Amino acid sequence: MSDRRGPDHFHAMHRHGFVRVAASTPRVRPADVGFNRDAILAEARRAEAAGADLVVFPELCVSSYAIDDLHMQTALLDAVEAALGAIAEASRELPPVLLVGAPLRHEGRLYNCAIVISRGAILGVIPKSFLPNYREYYEKRWFAHGRGVQGQTIRFGGWAAPFGSDLLFEATDLPGFVLHVEICEDYWATIPPSSEAALSGATILANLSASNIVIGKADDRHLLCRSQSMRAMAAYAYSAAGPGESTTDLAWDGQGAIYELGDLLAESERFSLHPALCLADVDTQRIVNERLRTGTFADAAEHARRSGASFRRVAFEHRPHFRDVGLARPVRRFPYVPNRASHLDLDCYEAFNIQVEGLRRRFEATNGTSMVIGVSGGLDSTHALIVAAKVCDRLEIPRSTILAYTMPGFATGETTKANAWRLMRALGVTADEIDIRPAARQMLGDLGHPYAEGKPVYDITFENVQAGLRTDYLFRLANHNNGFVIGTGDLSELALGWCTYGVGDQMSHYAVNAGVPKTLIQYLIRWAVRSNQFDPETDAVLEDILGTTISPELIPADDEAGMQSTEDRIGPYELHDFFLFHIMRYGLPPSKVAFLAWHAWRDAQAGLWPAGFPETSKRQYDLATIRRWMESFLWRFFTTSQFKRSALPNGPKVSAGGSLSPRGDWRAPSDSVATPWLEELRRSVPEA
């Protein structure tokens, strides 16, 4: 067998720490145990065909839930035990772990149980901890609670299995697959049992539920699943009873949902007359990494251990298939860009106004009388300028407080220069132009650079003389006008080191864009137009700037190559922002980031795009392209650029994806190397 960490298994989701989880709602009949057994097995086989590793069925699905005193009938309980034995036997040929609900007798008491079944074995039985006995619920009439039931063994139908509320189930051959099970009311409790289970290492929390439906209750269940998955830093899989349950006094909707760290991965159709199955690939590596970097989780785990919380781990061999079965989870192409349609305006408003508030407070603190900014007609300076304009509006001071300068150099295009002037005039700022070419020629001549002798040598010195002069002018203009310099460089450029250090665009008095990647800047400018943040004249300029090729405009265009394109040289920002998010925020290995990027970007017609994203800008990338630009990203990010970030000016963090400030999310040595990341990429990702 080849190394499962190598390129031969690159396309297998198991290779990258994913576990395929299913929430299933079979059609049942009240007290018809044989029918229910067959319905459960039919859905288990359907989940198997979909590549599931775990299937969560509803509470008491073997007997059905709403049968009241029939739970106490010996004939029914005997039939339930026989049905569980049959399900266990049938599971020998079924790869998924099955979680089924049934009433079971133990030492003279009846318990509402979840039974964990895998490959012909009953791995364990978990009794329900909290029994609802209010309004329509009467569970204490029939069942004993499972709180405090620990370290026991249950025997029924010739089977013996661990029994108690202290069980975790761990796959020995699929790292990260550690399962805890609770039942319905347990997660409505103030402190759900799954909280302590997560602190003891469970990554996937499952809930077998009946939960009749009333108006608004589906939202409550979503809220509980989402909050528990976020607070416990885990995945949460929920399956509720559906059609077939008795409707004597209640109705059932069959809600299923799978959450991970607060994100909804999948949900089932409610009120369906057919069995429902929803699936999602849970990223256990992401969960483990998030716990690793969040000290509060470790502190809480230590506190739980001191308080006496303990769990037995039941190890089992899962035998994952390591086949290419796709990826059953949403992967955002633009992880920094707001993607909630219902909250789109709110999220964009929030992102934009974080920058506005950061700059407002800094301007207020300086006691200066002006803000100085260089305006190129490109995306970054455009965005910084409209943020500054909003600061003036909020402070109720004239926009002429902003001293904006366009500073053409050897490669400045007429289009971008014209757009810079149009924008400055439309916004009503104090605008001026300083031609840096004479000063640049003087400096190049003083340096003895070949360009001063008429030779077309466009090296890094040629570029940085221009970039440095612009910044030098801005700082001296700030001195001269009792102001401070607004930085325009963005998070993407800081990640790649695509900025001139010191006396260059890396430096400013306040780096208002430093927490905003290029893809978010583009989207926020579109939002500013769409939401009428400015007047129609300004909107027209912003639209034109959005359609301009991203370029530093430091090397003169020629007849063949045309204008210098940043993305042609360093790669697509949309890919680099994707790499940055997953590596910086979650610490994922390059091969996994490439796997996610391939699923996100391989087909422009598949998946969702941010609302309002231009059709002409929708691109796709094959794996070879992703691998090529990731190699470039890793080299730039880990080896060549940290010294620029270590001397980063102040600026606001905007996204939960993090910032690169050495005072914030990212601290790293300036003299590190990219070797471990590059080796992992080359070892694990196929070249084609």
436 touches 443 (CB < 8 A): no
Residue type at 396? E
Kindly write down the DSSP assignment for every residue of 561-600, as one continuous string.
TBS--HHHHH--HHHHHHHHIIIIIH---HHHHHHHHHHH
Both tokens of 327, joined, read 């990826």
With 0-12 / 13-18 / 19 or more C-beta atoms within 10 angstroms meaning exposed / middle / buried, residue 18 is buried
Q: How many angstroms separate the most distant Cα atoms in the chain?
A: 102
Contact 334, 574 (CB under 8 A): yes
Closest CA to 22 of 4, 49, 60: 49
Residue 644 CB burial class (10 angstroms; 0-12, 13-18, ≥19): buried
Residue 109: count of CB within 10 angstroms of its CB? 13
d(CA 96, CA 119): 8
Catalytic residues: 59, 128, 184
Q: At what angle do helices 518-530 and 379-395 cross, to 10 degrees?
A: 50
Distance, in Å, from the CA atom of 303 to the CA atom of 199, rounded to the nearest integer, reads: 9
d(CA 513, CA 490): 5
The closest alpha carbon to 161, from 135, 194, 187, 126, belongs to: 126
CA distance 382 to 548: 12
Q: How far apart (Å, rounded) are the C-alpha atoms in residues 504 and 404?
A: 17
Closest CA to 248 of 68, 63, 70, 57: 68
